[in-house]
């Protein structure tokens, strides 16, 4: 991105945390089995559920500028509305369910996700994304990370 995100400035206080985040995030991007658009759906859904103002803004920026996610998709996630595309909505909903249930979806919820065209590998990819997002979302909560100017146009405030 050509910048050092503010989020990293806090995480570097424990280099092992920053290394773990970067490693897990990179592996999610490289080997989750999701397209770049699907990756952003997962990362945004998790960050929104966790109420992370920083990551929702940052991933909205990445979605817009790098992953080329249609704005109506990112805006739906940010606003807590269903996505019009049925497969992406199934992905958003399952990422939300996995986060909310702390990895304990019902068998019916898991089957609905699989029936939407995803696989068990994708379920594991969501677990990897949740792991990385817990590190970044929680770090941002603790340090009240200031939003970088690059992400300001996509600032987001969690509903109270």
Summarize pLDDT for 53-101 with one digit per residue, the tens: 999 999 999 988 888 899 999 999 999 999 999 999 999 999 999 999 9
Task: Examine the pLDDT at 1 and tell me if it is beyond 60.
Answer: no
pTM: 0.94
Name the class of domain 35-154: mainly alpha
Average pLDDT over residues 101-123: 98
Task: Supply the pLDDT for residue 111.
Answer: 98
Task: Supply the pLDDT for residue 149.
Answer: 95
Cβ–Cβ under 8 Å, residues 61 and 151: yes
Confidence of residue 104 (pLDDT cuts 50, 70, 90): very high
The Cβ of residue 11 has, within 10 Å, a number of other Cβ atoms equal to 23
Buried b (16+ CB within 10 A) or exposed e, 88-112: bbbbbbbbbbbbeeeeebeeeebeb
Average pLDDT over residues 121-147: 97
Delimit the domains of the chain by residue range. 35-154
pLDDT over 70 percentage in the chain:
98
Quote the mean pLDDT of the chain: 95
CB-side exposure of 144: number of CA atoms within 13 Å? 0
Residue 99 is encoded by which pair of tokens? 């986060």
């Amino acid at each position: 991105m050509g910048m050092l995100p503010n989020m990293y400035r806090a995480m570097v206080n424990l280099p092992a945390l920053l290394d773990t985040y970067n490693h897990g995030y990179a592996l999610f991007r490289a080997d989750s089995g999701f397209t770049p658009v699907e990756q952003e759906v997962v990362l945004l859904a998790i960050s929104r559920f966790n109420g992370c103002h920083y990551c929702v803004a940052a991933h909205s920026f990445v979605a817009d500028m790098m992953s080329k996610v249609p704005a109506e998709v990112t805006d739906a996630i940010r606003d807590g509305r269903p996505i019009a595309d049925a497969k992406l909505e199934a992905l958003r909903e399952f990422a939300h369910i996995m986060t909310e249930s702390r990895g304990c979806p019902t068998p019916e919820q898991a089957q609905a996700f699989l029936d939407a065209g995803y696989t068990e590998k994708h379920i594991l990819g969501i677990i990897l994304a949740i792991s990385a997002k817990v590190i970044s979302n929680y770090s941002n909560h603790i340090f009240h990370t200031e939003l970088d100017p690059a992400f300001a146009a996509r600032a987001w405030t969690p509903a109270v």
